[in-house]
């Protein structure tokens, strides 16, 4: 079985267009087939997509909230504003309140946590809610390998404890580089290897870079389709019926 | 006791200053020792079997259980001797012969050279302390 690898790019606001284009080309060179670019302006995203998207390399936008918005109300406002515009929506949970709310909200697909507080914020109750409402947990691996040496030990410890909880509960885990620079890009197999060290299962780690994000994306693309009505109900042959 | 098998990993190095055999070995083994410690590094059993200076590629031998350890070590490599260094695994096989054949494969060479161009094009010199 050939795996379709998926990665996320999280460019910061100061990134130039050329650097972003290099990032995308590098991701393509590393044999990723799908890439999610988070929080990018529509104009820049369209340009990048036009230049780089091919039949075997697909680019999708992604909305990431929570890192800049301190209040829950601000996040809800932005979610309402961008409803049905993004195939993937992720929330970075900086407080336990936001984590508990995001785990129950149907608009949210992915939950992220600051890695140094991973084990504290990703509590057992949040894990139960995530399981109940079909949410995925994302681990931005670039924070692990780009951080300074003195925080390597707490970072790996926090992540391992949190991922052990997620594996025990059966929550789908997504491993992504979430990098903002060219230098932080890594091979999909290396990301999976780092994931394997953290969650002690090679198949789960490989699924986290390929199968789990792919199934999530496919499901959400169906949902934002104009012919989608509700789970299991689609409008068929829409154009033909209108012509008749 | 189950016999330990070995795997050969093709590792590509991309840096503005070319690396020799010893530097390549040191860059990888030091990072593995930093993350997994002496005990972990001993379990990995890393050994540099072959190094091509022109291609800047090494074939490393390790225990078949510990390929993920080697790959994890590669994730943590960023610089060596005040130069940015990109190291990534390209191919894994059970025999050294197959790995050498892979190095000669023109498809793998073109993929590697395009990646090299892409990475070195945007690289700025690292500030010396």
Q: What is the pLDDT of residues B63-113, one digit of tens each?
A: 998 999 999 999 999 888 888 899 999 999 999 999 999 998 888 888 888
Note whether residue A68 is domain-resident: yes
User: Containing domain of residue A96, as a range?
Assistant: 64-217
Q: With beta carbons less than 8 A apart as the criterion, state whether B111 and B39 touch.
A: no
Nearest residue on chain A to B114, alpha-carbon basis: A29
Per residue in A33-87, pLDDT tens?
999 998 888 888 888 888 888 888 999 999 998 877 778 888 899 989 888 889 9
Residue B127 has pLDDT above 80, yes or no: no
Note whether residue A15 is domain-resident: no
**Which residues contact residue B116 at a Cβ distance below 8 angstroms, ignoring those fewer than 6 apart?**
B14
Provide the pLDDT for residue B129.
Answer: 47
Instruction: Count how many domains chain A has.
Output: 1
CA-nearest of A1, A118, A138 to A64 is A138
Note whether residue A224 is domain-resident: no
Give me the CATH number covering residue A196.
Answer: 3.20.20.140
Residue A201, chain B, CB below 8 Å: the answer is no
Per residue in A178-228, pLDDT tens?
988 888 889 999 999 999 999 878 888 999 999 999 999 999 998 888 888
- Contact list in A for residue B71 (CB cut-off 8 A) is 187, 189-190, 193-194
Note whether residue A59 is domain-resident: no
- Contact list in A for residue B69 (CB cut-off 8 A) is 193, 197
CA dist list (Å): B13 to A78, A192, B24, B53, B89 = 43, 20, 8, 10, 9
Nearest residue on chain A to B85, alpha-carbon basis: A183
Q: With beta carbons less than 8 A apart as the criterion, state whether A29 and B114 touch.
A: yes
Rg for chain B (alpha carbons), in Å? Answer: 15
- Contact list in B for residue A152 (CB cut-off 8 A) is 35
Note whether residue A189 is domain-resident: yes
Note whether residue A242 is domain-resident: no
A124 CB burial (10 A radius; 0-12, 13-18, 19+): exposed
Residue B118's H or E segment, with its range, is helix B106-121
pTM for this predicted structure: 0.91
Note whether residue A112 is domain-resident: yes
Note whether residue A2 is domain-resident: no
Residue A149, chain B, CB below 8 Å: the answer is yes
Q: With beta carbons less than 8 A apart as the criterion, state whether A182 and B122 touch.
A: yes
């Amino acid at each position: 079985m050939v795996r379709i690898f998926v990665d996320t790019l999280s460019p910061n606001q100061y990134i130039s267009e050329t650097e972003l284009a290099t990032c995308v080309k590098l991701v393509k060179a590393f044999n990723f087939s799908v890439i999610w670019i988070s929080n990018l302006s529509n104009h820049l995203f369209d340009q990048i997509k036009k230049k780089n998207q091919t039949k075997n390399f697909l680019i999708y936008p992604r909305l990431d909230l929570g890192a800049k918005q301190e209040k829950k109300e601000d996040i809800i406002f932005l979610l309402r504003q961008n409803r049905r515009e993004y195939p993937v929506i992720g929330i970075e949970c900086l407080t336990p309140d936001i984590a508990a709310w995001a785990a129950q909200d149907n608009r949210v697909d992915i939950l992220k946590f600051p890695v140094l507080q991973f084990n504290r914020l990703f509590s057992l109750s949040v894990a139960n809610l995530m399981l109940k409402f079909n949410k995925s947990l994302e681990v931005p691996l670039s924070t692990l390998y780009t951080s300074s040496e003195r925080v390597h030990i707490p970072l790996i410890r926090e992540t391992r404890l949190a991922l052990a909880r997620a594996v025990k509960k059966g929550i789908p885990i997504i491993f992504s580089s979430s990098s903002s620079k060219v230098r932080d890009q890594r091979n999909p197999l290396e990301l999976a290897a780092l994931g394997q060290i953290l969650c002690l299962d090679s198949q789960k780690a490989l699924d986290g870079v390929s199968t789990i994000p792919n199934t999530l994306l496919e499901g959400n693309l169906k949902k934002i389709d104009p012919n989608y009505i509700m789970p299991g109900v689609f409008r068929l042959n829409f154009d033909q019926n209108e012509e008749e | 006791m189950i016999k330990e098998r070995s795997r050969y990993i093709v590792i590509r190095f991309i840096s503005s200053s070319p690396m020799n055999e010893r530097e390549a070995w040191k860059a990888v083994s030091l990072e593995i020792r930093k993350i997994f410690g002496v005990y972990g590094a001993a379990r990995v059993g890393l050994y540099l079997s072959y190094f091509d200076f022109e291609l800047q590629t090494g074939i490393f031998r390790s225990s078949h259980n510990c390929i993920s350890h080697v790959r994890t070590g590669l994730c943590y490599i960023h610089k060596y001797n005040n130069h940015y260094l990109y190291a990534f695994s390209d191919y894994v096989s059970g025999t050294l012969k197959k790995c050498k054949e892979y190095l000669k494969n023109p498809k793998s060479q073109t993929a590697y050279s395009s990646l090299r161009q892409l990475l070195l094009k945007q690289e700025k010199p690292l500030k010396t302390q």
